[in-house]
Amino acid sequence: MRKSISGAVTVALWASLLQVSPGHAEDKSGAFQVASADVAVSLRPALRPSTQEYRVATEGNARFQAWLGAFRKRAVEQGISAGTLDRSLTGLTYDKDVIKRDRNQAEFSKPIWDYLDSAVSSKRIAGGRAGLDDYSQTLNKIEKKYGVEKEVVTAIWGLETSYGSFKGGDQTIRSLATLAFDARRAQFFEAQLVAALQIVEAGDVAPSNMVGSWAGAMGHTQFMPTSYLEHAVDFDRDGRRDIWADDPTDALASAASYLARHGWKKGQPWGVEVRLPEGFDYSQARRDYTLKPSQWARQGVVTPQGRAVPNHGKAAILLPAGGQGVALMVFDNFRVIEKYNSADAYVIGVGHLSDRLAGGAPFQGAWPRGDRVLSFTEKKELQTRLTEAGFDTQGVDGRTGPNTVNAVREYQLAQGLVPDGYPSLRLLERLR
């Protein structure tokens, strides 16, 4: 175990504390160097960290370096060569900003209508249509090979990186090492780190060019390393599965490959907007209750124009904002997009954007824009109060999954309310 921090790590540490990116001055050997002029500018008295801050950061990086030493042994046992480890881990430092973002993400809560305003904005629709035009031949070939509509692939590209305009600027290996060192999800992120090193070992990308989001998602379509190893393809046949290049060909084909392998059915919609009849039995609006569109039509569930939905297979009714919002009839392809990202808002965003790119209309129903969604803390309180009232949410995690929705619905039924399963602020106030 290394007993002290090297001078290069110390300089990088000071740069991190001062919010100076050491990556701007990385030499070819991977050791961080800072020019004397940079140091003179960076160490102004007003910006110099306190002795306490420096001590805490130094101790944290010392623990991180010790962890890296132990990890190297585990990586070698999994087949990673010493050369790849040297190229990838030399000079690596702990990224405190990654942990800060990881801790804060659970507090983020955005109404689905606000999310869709951005995800399916006029600007994003225009960008998607431009992408469809610019890469029409490539996207047509991808659709033919994988059976995934080009608009769906383009919509994923649009939501993940705004058509490649922002793929993330974090060093993937540094982010993953930081998250693997952290205790919260260490096992998951160490597996991702090993996968990232396997990608480097295969020669698909150099460590310095492996960049992406703070949580390790990479390239135009934001693949995690394990997903890359399992599903990325070399569609342009240049010998590398390059999802980072300016040319998005491999990334777009990889997204289509991912969806195809998870069961995408070409010609089946992800979902269709519907209108619910007066007196609709809201207890049927749940993902585990499916009927044929013709059966739903006999109950009065039709399109906003009053027509029966074509028979694309069995479907469920989804109410992403409760009984006061847009109602959707969702098919098996909804579950396939969930494999890419499990958040309902994301799936609806991809699906609706793909529909708009194909010439479809905006949603016709209204959203309850006057409502405020529950914060992370309020969701935990809701789960606690429901469970205490006899409606078990099967845990208190601040996330609105099927168990919480079912508990909400059972509570609503017991209280004589519309059982739409929607965890509203009004419901929480009633429980209080």
Q: Which of 160, 190, 273, 410 is catalytic?
A: 160
- pLDDT tens string 174-198: 999 999 999 888 999 999 999 999 9
User: What local confidence, expressed as pLDDT, does residue 344 receive?
Assistant: 92
User: What local confidence, expressed as pLDDT, does residue 59 receive?
Assistant: 60
User: What local confidence, expressed as pLDDT, does residue 107 receive?
Assistant: 57
Residue 73 lies in a domain: yes
Residue 285 lies in a domain: no
Residue 232 lies in a domain: no
Tokens of 330: 């969702």
Structural domain boundaries enclosing 88: 1-94
Which of 67, 94, 121 terminates a domain? The answer is 94
| Torsional sign, CA 168, 171, 176, 182 | negative
Residue 246 lies in a domain: no
Residue 384 lies in a domain: yes
Residue 220 lies in a domain: no
Which of 66, 94, 122 terminates a domain? The answer is 94
Which of 42, 62, 94 terminates a domain? The answer is 94
Compare 343 and 295 and report the one with higher pLDDT. 295
Asked whether residue 24 carries a pLDDT value surpassing 60, the answer given is no
Among residues 252, 202, 201, the alpha carbon closest in space to that of 222 is found at 252
Asked whether residue 44 carries a pLDDT value surpassing 50, the answer given is no
Contacts of 85 (CB under 8 A, 6+ apart): 72, 75, 76, 197
Residue-averaged pLDDT of the chain:
87
User: What local confidence, expressed as pLDDT, does residue 396 receive?
Assistant: 93
Tell me the average pLDDT across 39-46: 30
317: DSSP letter:
E
Asked whether residue 47 carries a pLDDT value surpassing 50, the answer given is no
User: What local confidence, expressed as pLDDT, does residue 136 receive?
Assistant: 98
Give the pTM: 0.83
Among residues 11, 38, 197, 12, the alpha carbon closest in space to that of 94 is found at 12
Write the CA distances from 172 to 205, 213, 346, integer angstroms.
11, 7, 23
User: What local confidence, expressed as pLDDT, does residue 184 receive?
Assistant: 84
How far is 233 from 153, CA to CA, in rounded Å? 14
Tokens of 391: 């409606």
Give catalytic status of residue 160 as yes or no: yes
Phi, psi (deg, nearest 5) at residue 101? -70, -35
CA 427 to chain centre: 29
Residue 78 lies in a domain: yes
Tell me the average pLDDT across 34-48: 31
How far is 160 from 108, CA to CA, in rounded Å? 18
- pLDDT tens string 88-128: 999 999 999 999 988 876 556 789 999 999 999 999 999 99
- pLDDT tens string 390-425: 999 999 998 888 899 999 999 999 999 999 999 999
Tokens of 154: 């383009």
How many domains does one find in the chain? 2
Residue 273 lies in a domain: no
